Amino acid sequence: MGSILVVAAVLAAVTLWPKNNTPANQSRTSTTLEPSTFGTPVGDPIRVHTDDVRSIAIGQLDGPISVSGSDDDTARVVDLVQGVELTPTLTGHTKWVRSVAIGTLDNEPIALTGSDDGTALVWNLNTRQRTGPSIAGNPGGIKAVALGDLDGTPIAITAGVDKTARIWDLRTREQIGAPLTGHTSTIWSVALTMLNNTPIAVTTSDDSTVRLWDLRTRKQLGAPMTGHQGWVRSVAVADLDGKPIALTGGEDNTARIWDLTTQTQLGTPLTGHTGWIWSVALTKTGDNLIALTGSEDDTARAWDISTRKLLGPPLTGHTDCIWTVTFAELNGKPIAVTGSKDETIRLWNLS
C-alpha cells in the first residue's frame, strides 16, 4: 500500500534555528498573546514585504514561523513570536511569488515557492538558502504549489497558467509522468490528501470546477465538481467525521464544502462575505473543524464547519483585500494568520 504525506498548514516542519540571527537594526515587536477577545489583533501588523502578500505557509523551527510569498518577487521567513524577518530574504524569483508550501526533505526543513516566472524553488529553512536546481514548473507561470510524499518519494506539485498540474521528484527535480490535464483554464490552487487509500490531489480553476486526481495514475477521478458561479481560486482539505472533505472559495462570494468520496457538495455554502473569496484554510480545534476565509471585502472570517455559522465577528483591520489565510498556534493558543494587498501580515486571536 502506498502513502502520501500531506503537508499541513500548521506547524509542519520541526528543527532548530540559531537564537540570535535578527539584524540589530530590526525592531522586535513582541506578538505575545495577552488576554483578549476573539478576533482581536495579536501584536502589530508585520511589515516585511514591499508589495502584496500573496501566500503564507506556517512551520516550526525554534518556534512558530511563517513563510510568505509576495509581489515583491521574494519569499520571507518570519519569527511569529517576535514579528520580525529571519534573514536572509529568499531571493531568486524574477516575478511575483504566488504560492508557498513547507515540508521536510531528508530531515531538513524546506520551503517550496512557486512564481509567475514559471519556476519553483526549494529553500533550506535553517539557512534560508536555495537547495539544488530550480523545478521547471509550468509555462506561463505557477499559481499553486504543494509538498508531499508519494509511495516513499518526496514530491512537489505545481499548477498554473498552462491549465495543468505537474508532479515532481523533489530529489531529482524531474517531472514524474505526464501532467494532470482536464481543466480548461488556469489552475489556482492544489491540496493533497488520501481517498480510499489512494493519494489524490484536489485542484481548483478559473473554469469554475473542482477536480480530483489519482496521483499514481495521474488520471482525473470522476466528473468535475461544480456549484461555484465563476472562478474558484482556493482549496483546503481535512477530515470531517472520518470522511475526507474539501473547502473551496470563489468569485460568487461563497465557500463550499465537498464530500470527496461522493464528489458532491455537503449542505449549504458558507455565506456572509460581500466580496470574492480569495483564500480558505481548515484546522481542527479539539473535536471541531474550523474554517477560515479571506476576501476581497478586506475581512477574514472563522466558521464552524458543522454548523456553518460564524465563530465570532469578522477579522477587520486590513486596508485592502486579503489574499491568503492560514492557521497557527502561538503560546499554546490558536491564531489566524492573514496576508493582504496592503502588504502586511496580521495575526488574530481565535481564543
What SS3 string covers 34-72? CCCCCCCECCCCECCCCCCEEEEEEEECCCEEEEEEECC
Read off the pLDDT band of 1 (50, 70, 90).
very low
User: CATH for 53-271?
Assistant: 2.130.10.10
Averaged over 183-210, what is the pLDDT? 98
Q: What is the pTM assigned to this prediction?
A: 0.91
pLDDT at residue 111, as a whole number: 98
pLDDT digits (tens, 9 = 90+) for 279-306: 999 999 888 999 999 999 999 999 999 9
Read off the pLDDT band of 342 (50, 70, 90).
very high
Copy the grid coordinates of residue 78: 518570519
Averaged over 212-237, what is the pLDDT? 98
**Lowest model confidence (mean pLDDT) among 20-29, 41-50, 139-148, 224-233:** 20-29
Q: What is the DSSP letter of 113?
A: E
pLDDT at residue 208, as a whole number: 98
Whether 298 and 322 have beta carbons less than 8 Å apart is answered as yes
Q: How far apart are CA 81 and CA 101, in angstroms?
A: 20
Averaged over 116-138, what is the pLDDT? 98
Average pLDDT value for the chain: 91
pLDDT at residue 196, as a whole number: 95
pLDDT digits (tens, 9 = 90+) for 235-265: 999 999 999 999 999 999 999 999 999 999 9
Which neighbouring-strand residues pair with 340?
322
pLDDT at residue 287, as a whole number: 87
Going by C-beta distance under 8 Å and a sequence separation of 6 or more, which residues neighbour residue 264? 225, 258
pLDDT at residue 70, as a whole number: 98
Whether 58 and 12 have beta carbons less than 8 Å apart is answered as yes
Does the pLDDT of residue 29 top 80, yes or no?
no
| HSE of 57, CA atoms in CB hemisphere, 13 A | 31
* Residue given cell 473543524 in the structure block: 289
Does the pLDDT of residue 267 top 90, yes or no?
yes
